[in-house]
Amino acid sequence: MLFNSAIFIFVFLPLCLAGWYGLNHFGLYRPALWFLSISSLIFYGYFHPAYLLLILASVLINYGVLRAILRFRKASKLLLALGVLANLGILGYFKYCDFFLSTVNGITGSNIPLRNILLPLGISFYTLQQLSCLTDAYRGKESDYRFDEYLTFVTFFPQLIAGPIVLSEELIPRFRDLSLRRFDAESFASGLSLFILGLAKKVLVADLFGRVVDFGFEKIYWIDTASAWVVGLCYSIQLYFDFSGYCDMARGLAEMFRFPLPENFAQPFKAFSIKDHWDRWHMTLTRFFTRYVYIPLGGSRKGRIRTAVNIFLVFAVSGLWHGAAWTYLIWGALQGVGVLWSRRKFLRLKPGVLSWFFTFSFIVASQLIFRSGDLDFMRRMLTAMFTPKGVHFLPELASCLAEAPEFYMITRAAEALAPGALNALYLILLALMLLVAALLLRGRNAAKLCADAKAAAYPKRFIWLLALLFTAVVVSLNQVSTFLYFNF
């Protein structure tokens, strides 16, 4: 089920909220938790019922290992290793099997048939989440959870498909706090506001920029330098509004249930260095890799060279985690190099326009690698970006906006009244889109907007903004599109 679908907004969510608060109202606290986890499984299985078997198997295996770690402390290291192997084995099979086979085929010239395994949604997210839980138990943190608590923690639908990556210590204690089981208008109002803003970011902004990106990649053989940079810019904007929009929705939904989720974005395009960017972008992933990969590898405690290797490794692994393709690995490795660069004092620029510009350009170019999917597309896009090929394709790129409902009448009118000015109009529309996106990126983020509105006792203009955005989103629901982060 998609957050931006009618079935979710008008059927699933109201029923789920009513069931949750209804059961809790009558003191049925444990059935309420079961209700929430079963609802979450319905939400998950709606995409593809067969995925349910995998997620349930994964939960059962991990819960079994968790209990074993708590019970057999002396063997906890071995049990943790088994748990990690099981998780990585499942993830490896479903996500990396074909990548591995095609790489072997490429290197050896063999022709091993690919398995064409359908990647189960959210597998990367719930695998990391459960790995963190096992590791915390091994480290002696409070992890004595009941099965219904653990199941709800893993499957809680707002964060199940694409994060934020939540730790058990953040969620399960709140499940246990029965004072939070009562409906609270303040939490609900905050959550609803954030959910609507997130919906609008995804549906109204990200999907519009997605048109330009898809068209650019469709026409990759004709693309020139200016167009490649514009496609890169549009993709960075699309990715940010798509993923941060999803996270805002997730946080908003969780807030409606009175379970706040951690923030995942802090205005990443304002960063002055790549390290700064990664402190602001997908923060819960950075936190996971720092806690559970970087620090166990030795972190910065074993000398400069080892630190550099650790950083590079963490980002390379993060790249592969995002997708099973060489482009993801290259993207991750580049991020590692960028972070290492920004850690060296003599290479680092002082925070200012120049450092912002280089950081932003680096992010835009590297995110195009992320989008490319295969090495040939990556090569073509980077060649277009970094070799002078002019601007002749730009009007055609912008012309893909002609069919966007938002601009349809303007372009049809221009077609009838001034066909000679059409190309100029397309370019103006594209420039306007970029300008609006820049203003949105410069302004307050969704969470801050909601917090400020709450502090100001929800002024009328904020209520009108939400109502108009929600109406615009509902009107756009016939053009349901898939979230970019679902397949990572």
- Matching residue, tokens 């929009």: 245
- Is 48 among the residues that bind another protein (CB under 8 A)? no
The identity of residue 283, as a single letter, is M
Q: Binder to another protein among 103, 290, 471, 482 (CB under 8 A)? A: 471
Rounded CA-CA distance 433/442 in Å is 14
Rounded CA-CA distance 283/57 in Å is 28
- Using the minimum distance from each CB to another protein, give the nearer residue, 286 or 476: 476
Residue 254 in contact with residue 260, Cβ under 8 Å?
Answer: yes
The distance of closest approach from Cβ of residue 8 to another protein in the complex, given in angstroms and rounded to an integer, is 14
Catalytic residue flag (residue 322): yes
Rounded CA-CA distance 338/410 in Å is 43
The identity of residue 227, as a single letter, is S
Rounded CA-CA distance 248/201 in Å is 9
- Is 107 among the residues that bind another protein (CB under 8 A)? no
Spatial CB neighbours of 40, under 8 Å, sequence gap ≥ 6 = 152, 155, 156, 157, 160
- Using the minimum distance from each CB to another protein, give the nearer residue, 213 or 466: 466
Q: Binder to another protein among 263, 470, 486, 487 (CB under 8 A)? A: 470
- Matching residue, tokens 């490794």: 313
Q: How many CA atoms lie within 13 A of 118 on its CB side?
A: 8
Residue 164 in contact with residue 251, Cβ under 8 Å?
Answer: yes
Q: Binder to another protein among 192, 295, 391, 451 (CB under 8 A)? A: 192
- Is 463 among the residues that bind another protein (CB under 8 A)? yes
The distance of closest approach from Cβ of residue 47 to another protein in the complex, given in angstroms and rounded to an integer, is 16
Q: What is the x/- site pattern for another protein, positions 3-42, by CB under 8 A?
A: ---x------------------------------------
Cα radius of gyration rounded to whole Å, the chain: 24
- Using the minimum distance from each CB to another protein, give the nearer residue, 416 or 439: 416
Rounded CA-CA distance 295/29 in Å is 38
The distance of closest approach from Cβ of residue 32 to another protein in the complex, given in angstroms and rounded to an integer, is 22
The distance of closest approach from Cβ of residue 449 to another protein in the complex, given in angstroms and rounded to an integer, is 14
Q: Binder to another protein among 129, 236, 359, 476 (CB under 8 A)? A: 476
Dihedral sign from CA coordinates of 225, 227, 233, 235 = negative
The distance of closest approach from Cβ of residue 465 to another protein in the complex, given in angstroms and rounded to an integer, is 10
Spatial CB neighbours of 437, under 8 Å, sequence gap ≥ 6 = 205, 209, 237, 241
User: Which range of residues in 80-88, 209-217, 311-319, 459-467 is near another protein by CB under 8 A?
Assistant: 459-467
Q: Binder to another protein among 84, 422, 434, 477 (CB under 8 A)? A: 477
The distance of closest approach from Cβ of residue 52 to another protein in the complex, given in angstroms and rounded to an integer, is 23
Fill in the DSSP letter of residue 157.
Answer: H
Judged by CB under 8 A, how many residues of this single chain contact another protein?
Answer: 32
Which of the residues 390 through 429 are near another protein (CB under 8 A)?
405-406, 408-409, 412-413, 416
- Is 47 among the residues that bind another protein (CB under 8 A)? no
Residue 126 in contact with residue 6, Cβ under 8 Å?
Answer: no
Instruction: Kindly name the residue from 25, 277, 282, 322 that is annotated as catalytic.
Output: 322
- Using the minimum distance from each CB to another protein, give the nearer residue, 165 or 208: 208
- Is 179 among the residues that bind another protein (CB under 8 A)? no
Distance between the two ends of the chain, CA-based, in angstroms? 17
For binding to another protein (CB under 8 A), which residues are involved? 6, 184-186, 188-190, 192, 405-406, 408-409, 412-413, 416, 454, 457-458, 460, 463-464, 466-468, 470-471, 474-479
Q: Which residues are catalytic?
A: 322
